[in-house]
Structures are given as C-alpha cells and as structure tokens.
Amino acid sequence: MIIQEIGIRGVIFTYEDDISVYLIKGDHQIVLCDTHLGPRSMNVVKDYLLTQSSPKELLVFNSHSDWDHIWGNCAFKGAKIIGHEKLKPRMQEIGYYELDLLRKFHNGEIQLRYPNLTFSEKLSLEDEDIEFIYAPGHTIDSALCFDRRDSILFIGDLVEYPIPYLDYYDLDVFIKTLELIKHFPAQIKISAHSGIVDNDLIERNLSYIQGIQLGQPIAPEMIESSAEVHQYNLNNRLLLKYEPFIREKLGESFDYTSYKNNFMDIGQVNSDDFEATLAKYLRGL
C-alpha cells in the first residue's frame, strides 16, 4: 500500500494490485473517488480519516460501475454515493454477475450499494470547487472528478497503460472523451490503474482506439504484455455489436448472467474461434 499526499488536499491510495482511489479533503466535505474491492479495502481510508483534525461528511464518487471501483461502497453506511445516471442501471444489471464470477477478489463481505445522487452531464460542489463530468468511453457510465482548487482530474479507467479496455461500442465517443481529457485544464491527471498519466499515454490510447476502429493491425510494441486485453477488446467489440440485436430478440426473457455465461474468458479465445461461437449462439436464438 502506498499513500501519497498530492496538492494541498489530495491523497492517492494505491493498493498492492496497482489500483488507486483518490481522496479530496474539502473544507466541509470529503470526496472519495472509487472504493476498490470491498469494505476491508476501505479500512486504510477510514484510518487515514481518523487522523484528520475534524470529522466531515464523506461523499463517495464512482467513476463507473465496474466491480473493482464500487465493491467498497458498502463500507460507508448512509453515505451519499455520486455517479452518472447510467451507472445505477448498469450496476444493477452486471453487479451480481461480477460479484459471483469474481469471488476470489472479494475483500470483505460485500453488499452492492448503488448511487443515490446522480447527474446527466455535470454535477458541481461549488463550495468545494469540485465537479463531476460525464465522460463515456471505457464504459457507457464513465465520469471524471475535477478538483479545481488543486487542478487534479481523476479519470478512472478512461486512460490505461499500455492500452485501455473497450467496454462500450461507440469508439467515436471514446475518442471524443480522450480528446477532452488531453486538453482538460488540469495540471495532474490520475488513472485508477496507471497512476499519474501524461499526454503521451493519452495519445497512445487514442492511437490504439483509432487503430481498432479502422480495423488496422496493432503493433506488438503498443500492446506490450497486454495481449489478453487486446484479444478481449477485439472479441468484446464483436459481442457489443450484436448485443442490441440479442436483447431485442430475447425481449423480456433476456437475462444478463445467462447471456454472459455463453462467452467466458473472451480474452483467451482467438478471434476466429470467438466468431464461430458467437455465430452458433446467434443461430440458436
């Protein structure tokens, strides 16, 4: 565990798995960006807060609804949880599937806690100089947290080294979001998986996404050791393309868990085999 104070009021907590959460110590409120893998993960945050001079209201911000960013929400009973308006429905659909599938990563007894303060485009805490901004791309519900006073932008999983995960089909939207992040007037930009990032990494992520969009071969030096992530992205893009058709075809009988169980470990399946599996599934509808 690494605890790094940054700016005049920020703290980065980086866990042994290299996932970071970010804390902003406001004048009247504390804002915690993401909650890692469960309530035990949040003990170190709670211990840190006990060292502060006076207790303040804690607000939790979820950058998106993936499991490794929301499982610790339940550590803070009664807290306001901030997220984009698309976060709750996505979390309701995928939350229990991921909770069961990824049991080995549980860090404490987890109860899913959904956002209870949502926004569409932007939400501002004017007294604290903090704002939350919708920024889809990695997922449909991704959002940013900007500390205007410290000029620090928390970007969740929207930028990653060496390449990002693609869990939203519209890559034009992802490219637009990365351009927003690249030109955003923040002195420091913090990724949940890659720490403090610079524009070189943002450009690298942009080049990768543009290559995927154009169907171009991706150079091994861009992928580095993330070949499984790249294969996941290729296969998931195909799955996301057909998912609206599958949902429409199945109607009210569509069940997310049953659907996803047909396509396990897609990062470990080559493209030809995955296309064959998907084609067989579609024929059976």
Alpha-carbon span 242 to 65, nearest angstrom: 22
**CA-based torsion, 208, 210, 212, 214: positive or negative:** negative
Per-position b or e across 201-221, b if 16+ CB within 10 A of its CB: bbebbbebbeebeeeeebeee
* Contact (Cβ atoms closer than 8 angstroms) between residue 118 and residue 82: yes
**Does the model's pTM come out above 0.95?**
yes
Per-position b or e across 143-155, b if 16+ CB within 10 A of its CB: bbbbbbbbebbbb
Q: What is the mean pLDDT of the chain?
A: 97
**All residues at 6 or more sequence positions from 224 whose CB lies less than 8 Å from its CB, including other chains:** 162
Q: What integer is the mean pLDDT of 20-47?
A: 98
What is the token pair recorded at 205? 């992520």
Alpha-carbon span 147 to 12, nearest angstrom: 13
User: CA separation (Å) from 171 to 46, 130, 198?
Assistant: 38, 28, 21
Q: Which domains does the chain have, with CATH numbers?
A: 2-214 (3.60.15.10), 226-283 (no CATH)
Q: At 259, which amino acid appears?
A: Y
Residue with tokens 């410290």: 150
Instruction: Give the pLDDT confidence score for residue 265 in this predicted structure.
Output: 94
Pick the closest to residue 164 from 196, 194, 134 (CA basis).
Answer: 194
Instruction: List pLDDT tens digits, range 252-281.
Output: 999 999 999 999 999 999 999 999 999 999
Instruction: List pLDDT tens digits, range 154-172.
Output: 999 999 999 999 999 999 9
pLDDT at residue 77 is higher than 90? yes
Instruction: List pLDDT tens digits, range 47-58.
Output: 999 998 788 999
* Contact (Cβ atoms closer than 8 angstroms) between residue 63 and residue 70: no
Instruction: Give the pLDDT confidence score for residue 55 in this predicted structure.
Output: 85
Alpha-carbon span 160 to 267, nearest angstrom: 17
